[in-house]
Every structure is written in structure tokens, then in C-alpha cells.
Amino acid sequence: MRISADQALAWRLQRHFLTGARADRVDQVVERLIAVPATPTGSGDPELSIRVRLEPDPGAGMVAAALADGRLIKTFSFRGATHLMTPEQAAVHLAVRCAGRQWELTSWRTHYRLQPDDWPALRAVVRERACSPATWAELAEAVAAEPRFAHLEPEFTGENWTLLKPFMWQGDLCFGPSVDRVVTFQALASNPHWPGLMPLREAGPRAVLAYLDGYGPATAAHLQYWLGGGLSGGRRRIDGWLDQVRPQLTEVHVDGRPALVGSEHLDELRATATDPRTLLLPGYDQWVVGAGTADESIVPPALRPAATKGVGLVLVGGRAVGTWKRSKAGIEVDWGGDGEAPIDALRVAGERLGAAKVTVAA
């Protein structure tokens, strides 16, 4: 099957709830995108990235509400950063993140004086203390109370994030609610929506399908970027998972280049019309991050430095053609597309971000 790159992007825009029908729940957006960066950085705004995909706009506080009732969790996942995820997607992708078993490396065993068979007992101590939200100091106290782990107390009192990450990767902890701006952690088992970490043999193929469901049509290289570079899944493992699910996939040719998509989506993809709509997206939006800034079908080389720094991007038909930033008056666009800037379309896009006014830089 042959399709154009414009058609492929138009279908993906719909899958991202950026065109066509929008989502009506916060967790529906995060589930489709797999993971959304949790911390505002530069022009990146996780809550805004979710809100532009929702109808009606639920207003401020939607992420906090979803975290409070367990429909979302905040955890360490892709590229060592904190992300918002649904419990179901976390169960899949954290299993992939565990595949490398970093805590068993010689450097870890030497530095932390922990052997692989020490971890189950240590994890149990941490989980038990975090059955209700616990601070760093409270985790340190619980660890110090166990003689075999007492030497780790300074790591917890010193807020060693590197040591903490494997507890999140293995499904023991996630971030809890902040108390007077103090970070807390809570056991994932206390979340009624948490299904438990999925066995890797099941999680790997599921992760491949989840990516193609949200970011297809995509190549094997995209999967290596997402699951390898993002979660350290391991090249051979990822290739093996892809081989397992190939019977559920179809190869399509996007402007002559082979790519993969779930076979269940073929009719929908074939029927999708190109959509040259103008959109404004916050920095580090998953539309860009999910494909990677090196994907020139979305980010041209001239705009890659801006995309990498998390500058807000102007899209036309899914492709970045310029940047935008907040100003006192509203939003200021640096237009780089063909012809004059479509001011009416930019105003509509700005309204979706809550901006009362959009201007184009001279």
C-alpha cells in the first residue's frame, strides 16, 4: 500500500487528538501518547500539551485530579526523566526499562554494596514504608532500621535520585502528592488501577504495538529510538519483539519509503485525507518527542536546535515551519513557512492555547 507523507502525518494527527475528534479524558490522551513529560521545562508545558487534545477543556487542575484518583501516575521512565503515564502503560513500559537490570552492574554493586539478591528484601522495606506517602527522610529512617541496609541511609537522606529510580522502574514506587512542597513517594500497590509490572516477554511486544498505535506509520529505527534510546530496551530484544508482532502489522510505503502500521488501521489510514491545518504546540510536545527531533518529516534541520531546546513549534500539516513564544500581548510567532503567515489560522491555533492575541514577528 502506498500513501503520501502528508497522508501519514494527517492520520497521526488524528491519533494524537490534534485534529478530528479530541479526547474527553486526561487519561485517554496520556494512554495514547504513552508518556508525557511531567515537569514544565523551557516552553514545555505538560498540562497544556494535554489540554490542546481535549474537548471540552477541563481547565486547570485536571492532571492533579487524575493523579489523585490514580488514573495517572508520575514516575521515572523515558530517558531518565519524570513522566505522566497511565498505570496500564506504565506496567508495560517500566518492564521494558527494567530489561537492562542496571542495578546489577558491577559499578552499582560496588558503590551501593548491594548484590542482586539483596534487592527483593530492600524493595519490600521501601514498599512497606510507602504504603502511605513517605518523604525522603521517612524512607531513610525505614532503611536505617534494617541492619543489612543501614549503610544506605545517607543515600536516602542525600536524596540520591539515581538509587531511587530502580524502585520506580520495578513498580515499587511512584511519586506521591507533595506536602508543603516536600516530595513524597507512595507504593504503586496502593493504586487500585495498578495492574502490576507485566512480564517482559509480554511487555516488549505490547510496547511495540503501543508505539505504532500512536506514532505510526513508523520504521524499525523509530522503535529503536523510542524503546532503545528511551528505555534502554536493547537492540536485539527490540528486533525480536518486532518480529513477534509482525503478523499484526502491514508494511506501507510512505512516499516510497517503507514503514509499519497496525493492520487494523489500514482502512482508516487509506481513507485519511491530507490536512494542512496550522497548529501551535508547546515545547517538548510528544508529537515531536515521540518521533524524535531527527525525524525530518516533522522537524526540518533548520528547526532542530529549537525543537531540541523545547521551543514552542508552529506546525502546518504536522510539519514544523516556525516557532512561537509568549509575549505580554499573547503569543508571538516567528513564521518560517511558505508565503505570508496565515494570521487567521494562527489566531485559531492561539485560541486553542488560551491566547487572546497572536502576532507575527517582523
Q: 94-190 maps to which CATH number?
A: 1.10.10
Q: Report the predicted TM-score, pTM, of the whole model to 2 decimal places.
A: 0.96
Residue 184 in contact with residue 126, Cβ under 8 Å? no
What are the per-10-residue average pLDDT scores of the chain (362 residues)? 96 98 96 94 84 88 94 97 97 97 96 97 98 97 98 98 98 93 96 98 98 98 98 97 98 97 97 96 96 97 96 97 92 95 96 92 82
What residues does each domain of the chain span? 94-190, 278-360
pLDDT at residue 83, as a whole number = 97
Distance CA 138, CA 50 (A): 33
- pLDDT (tens digit, 9 = 90+) per residue, 104-140? 999 999 999 999 999 999 999 999 999 999 999 999 9
In this prediction, residue 41 carries a pLDDT of 75
Rg (CA), the chain: 22
249-254 vs 2-3, strand pairing mode: parallel
User: CB–CB of 275/5 below 8 Å?
Assistant: no
Contact present, 357 and 349 (Cβ < 8 Å): no
Is 35 in contact with 85 (CB distance < 8 Å)?
A: yes
- What is the spatial distance between Cα 208 and Cα 185, in angstroms, rounded to a whole number? 29
pLDDT of residue 42: 67
Angle between helices 200-215 and 26-33 (to 10 degrees): 100
In this prediction, residue 181 carries a pLDDT of: 87
Q: How many angstroms separate the CA atoms of 122 and 108, rounded?
A: 15
Predicted pLDDT at 162: 97
C-beta separation of 139 from 183 below 8 A: no
Residue 78 CA to residue 232 CA, distance in Å, equals 9
**Nearest CA among 212, 341, 266 for reference residue 7:** 266
